[in-house]
Amino acid sequence: MVAADIQFSDELQAYIEEWSRKEGGLVMMLHRIQHEFGYIPRAAAEKLSLISGIPLAKIYGVITFYHFFKTTMPGKHRIAVCMGTACYLKGGQDLLDETRSILSIGPDEVTDDGLFSVDEVRCLGCCGLAPVLMIGDEVFGKVTKDQLPEIIAKYRNK
């Protein structure tokens, strides 16, 4: 896919036009693109380069520097397992391993049905609820391994 094949929504188009005039807007524009597509497709990066005049190499330099930006399409439901220190001490690693084992996927992989992907994230900022995981916008606190199949099942049919 090349730049010509990808469609930006009017809002995204307008946002990019506004921010490419501002100094240092690249990170903000990438956020907006990821917000629209769930990740940053190559074609979108190319199109951004065409509109803003920022070299593609520089855009990729920034995308790959920051953990937040993804270059592969995540699952429909993104499971984020918190690996902040508080969660780690309370079994975050076990939750992460178990979630990946239930879904049979590794890092940066998506289940065959396209429904799930699992990321480890740095601190969701609700350490009082450790260990924590998040699916989409929903936060689950004080999670045990036994609860995982049920939590995942809830999203399978959503």
Q: Sign (positive/negative) of CA torsion 129, 133, 138, 144?
A: negative
Binding range to other proteins, per CB under 8 A, among 6-14, 43-51, 89-97, 107-115: 89-97
Question: Residue 102 Cβ, how far from other proteins at the closest point, in Å?
Answer: 11
Report the SS3 class of residue 72.
Answer: coil
- Output DSSP code: residue 67: T
CB closer to other proteins, 34 vs 46: 34
Q: Does position 143 bind other proteins by CB under 8 A?
A: no
Cα-based distances in Å from 121 to 29, 87, 115: 22, 11, 19
Q: How many residues bind other proteins (CB under 8 A)?
A: 40
Residue 102 contacts other proteins per CB under 8 A: no
Give the C-alpha distances (Å, rounded to integers) separating 52 from 62, 132, 134, 155: 15, 39, 34, 38
- Provide, rounded to whole angstroms, the least separation between the CB of residue 40 and other proteins: 11
Closer residue to other proteins, CB minimum distance, 10 or 137? 137
What sign results for the dihedral spanned by CA atoms 42, 123, 130, 101?
positive
- State yes or no: residue 53 binds other proteins (CB under 8 A): no
Using CB under 8 A as the criterion, which residues of the chain lie in contact with other proteins when the complex forms? 23-28, 30-31, 61-62, 65-69, 83-90, 94, 121-130, 132, 137-141
